[in-house]
Chains A and B, each alone.
Chain A
Amino acid sequence: MKKLLWALLLVAGGFANSSNAEDVLHIYNWNNYIAPETMERFKQFCKCKVVYDTYGDNDELLAKLAAGAKGYDILVPTQNAVETLIKQKQLLKIDHAQVPNLKNINPAYLNLAFDPNNQYSVPYAYTVTLIGFNEQKMKELNYPTDSWAAIFDPANLAKVKGKITVLDSPTELFAAAYKYLGYSINDTDPAKLAKAKEVILKAKPYWAAFNNTSYIPGLAAGNLWLVHGYSNDMFQANLDAKSNKRAFSIGANVPKEGAVFALDNMVIHKAAPRPDLAHKFINFMLDGKNSSELTNLIGSGNPNSAAQEFIKPDIKANKGIFPDQELLKKLEQSKDVDAKSRRERSRVWTAIKAAKVK
């Protein structure tokens, strides 16, 4: 038995390619969050190897780094996670002299509250959290989709009972309820949290599930009619519905009360083995053409002015992906939350999720 297992180990080990000492950049990013052709060009440009590892969301990333994981050069967290990482002293300052292409970024996305003067972070791409829906079905039902009332008002919800899902994330769902109630999404007043809880509990019986992952196929297949989710996912769901020759299309609206705007940023980890390559990568990705390729691939929002001319017209025209000036003003970014408020929010969130339906 033992001999056999050793034999297996050796066979398996023989396949593993051992990497020798060469220039390697370690990127830790979301899956499918860089276009393959961009990556190829970067490798040629820097004459280095790139190791691309992936995480599923900011919370996983924060937990792993807080426990002391290292070895990564570039990370691409959302702005509130950037704020957390700065406060935890996990990041390296970016040397602006090495990233001249920073001038390409639209000034509206620079010098934001989470990182004044972009000392630690550089914008990469963004999404808006909004309402996606089956356009034909909504017309048929004469259902209002321009307000958060679409997912919170029981008077509407009876028509779509069991055909609607909301995000399984306290940050996102509380933010939506806060916007519906007319509060700032970063308000930490417990009384407002209680109000939001009330709103959510009244609407909960009509929702099919809290869902972060399977709403794209749900929408594209016609099993779900209305979802609370991310702009690029709605873009994907619509592509899928089209490619399956559905009789319906998937639309998306930023509710008139405003919504969450999430900006993902490139940052360099403090224990980065190769800050030099990291700077090279950041500058490379700030190039207009390189930046546009991601948007064309997945329909993410693009903060890069120089990229605009390379973006496919149908994506540029999509208001869910590129909100106009008026809508932009209503969007708000989540901030990091202190320990006491996190604890309070977690308590309310558990109560919401555990509350019995029926």
Chain B
Amino acid sequence: MANQPAAGLRARMARWPVTAPPTLYLVLFFLVPTLIMVLASIQYPGEFGGLSPILIEDQGHTRLDITLENYQRAVSETIYLQLFLKSLWYAIVTTVLCLVLAYPLSMMIARSNKKYRDLLLLLVILPFWSNFLIRIYAWMIILGPQAALAKGVNAALGAVGMEPVSLLFSPFAVIVGLVYVHLPFMILPLYANLEKHDPTLLDAAQDLGANAWQRFWKVTFPLSLPGVYAGAALVFIPALGAFAVPDLLGGTDAIMIGNVIKEQFREARDWPFGAALSFVLMAVALLAALAAAWAGKRYQQQAD
């Protein structure tokens, strides 16, 4: 990296036009609001919702009324732990499936004629400009009992003497939904990476006698790893906190940790606990991202 040792005040000043605008924006509109919620996570819920005052009058003098019990509850009660694990598992499955589906498509777009690349990319994102809820409703119809898919599956199951199944309101529907809504966030970063690969490398590999499979695993895939990480982060982390898809497509035991968090800001009106759960979830997500980055570095070092 261009981290010159001569970095004095001048070098730092030269950075500012690049680093200052996004940093300032995110500090103002992300960090400061989030700190309000960090404070909320150690407060008590208000009797009627919202937050109870942080300073209270106690026998003539004011004192801080804060607690760690929200975090204690978030990490000590097994039900929340189970839901964290379940959400992790769903997010991992979603990420892997997205990667498997996105890779061929991104590769095809990156390798197609330059004239059509932007168009092909646009076609990927186009369906996502209709409305989220309407697309999920469309999936409810596709997976529903009157659609061809369920009828076909159940006819096949019936032929081998098995009970008919419901595709809608099942874990299968949840996974389909999660993969569907997150897929473009894997395809776009992967494409942005694959598009820059130097074709002469692959030609050279072919000249050296590598077959298509070897060329992929030895050249294309390792080079695309930054794109894979970017896509994986943009799929895994949001999928971990998903709530709308399990709500709408899942059965009676479909909830994930995101549903519990949402619930704390709705009927439960327990913002402190909702905030505490949210920060635990953020920590899990960021730790997972760090672990993946570390594993990736090890893998690359071994490959070199």
Contacts and interface: CB of A to CB of B under 8 A. Distances in A.
Q: Are chains A and B touching in the complex at the 8 Å CB cutoff?
A: yes
A356 B269 contact: no
Nearest to A206: B252
A214 to B, nearest CB: 6
Given A214-B137, A351-B79, A62 B250 contact: no
Interface string B230-265: 000000000000000001101111010001100111
A60 B47 CA distance: 18
Contacts of B270: 339, 342-343, 346
Interface in A308-358: 336, 338-339, 342-343, 345-347, 349-351, 353-357
A208 B47 contact: no
A197 interface: no
B53 interface: no
A350 B77 CA distance: 12
Contacts of B49: 62-63, 66, 84, 88
Contacts of A357: 251-253
Q: Is the interface of B mostly helix, strand, loop or mixed?
A: loop
B33 to A, nearest CB: 11
B166 A354 contact: no
B50 interface: yes
Interface stretch (B4-12, B17-25, B104-112, B140-148): B140-148
Interface stretch (A43-51, A113-121, A162-170, A181-189): A162-170
Contacts of A60: 266
13 contacts: A63-B265, A66-B46, A87-B47, A208-B251, A209-B169, A336-B48, A342-B268, A343-B270, A350-B80, A350-B83, A350-B263, A354-B255, A357-B253
A84 B267 CA distance: 12
Given A162-B166, A350-B79, 9 more contacts: A63-B49, A66-B50, A168-B247, A208-B251, A209-B250, A339-B46, A350-B263, A353-B253, A354-B82
Nearest to A209: B169
Nearest to A68: B50
B260 A350 contact: yes
B273 interface: yes
A229 to B, nearest CB: 16
A59 interface: yes
B45 interface: yes
Contacts of A356: 253
Interface residues of A, number: 40
A317 B185 CA distance: 53
A59 B252 contact: no
Nearest to B263: A346
A223 B144 contact: yes
Interface in B52-101: 77, 79-80, 82-83
A221 interface: yes
A63 B266 contact: yes
B21 to A, nearest CB: 13
A170 B48 contact: no
B247 A87 contact: no
Given A62-B269, A336-B48, A354 B146 contact: no
Given A162-B166, A353-B255, A221 B146 contact: yes
4 tightest Cβ-Cβ pairs between the two chains A and B: A346-B268, A59-B266, A66-B50, A87-B48
Contacts of B263: 346, 349-350
A122 B259 CA distance: 34
Nearest to B133: A213
B79 A223 contact: no
Interface residues on B, range: 35 or more
B146 A223 contact: yes
A204 B267 contact: no
Contacts of A342: 45, 267-270
Contacts of A354: 79, 82-83, 253, 255
Interface string A148-164: 00000000000000100
Contacts of B250: 209
Nearest to A90: B48
A124 interface: no
Contacts of B45: 339, 342-343
Nearest to B268: A346
Nearest to B246: A353
A236 interface: no
B45 to A, nearest CB: 5
A59 B83 CA distance: 23
A33 interface: no
A350 B79 CA distance: 8
Contacts of B140: 214
A336 B269 CA distance: 11
Contacts of A208: 166, 169, 251-252
Nearest to A353: B255
A210 interface: yes
A203 to B, nearest CB: 10
B255 A223 contact: no
A178 interface: no
Interface string A200-233: 0000110111100110000001010000000000
A244 B137 CA distance: 20
A162 B140 CA distance: 15
Nearest to A63: B265
A87 B47 CA distance: 9
Contacts of A84: 48-49
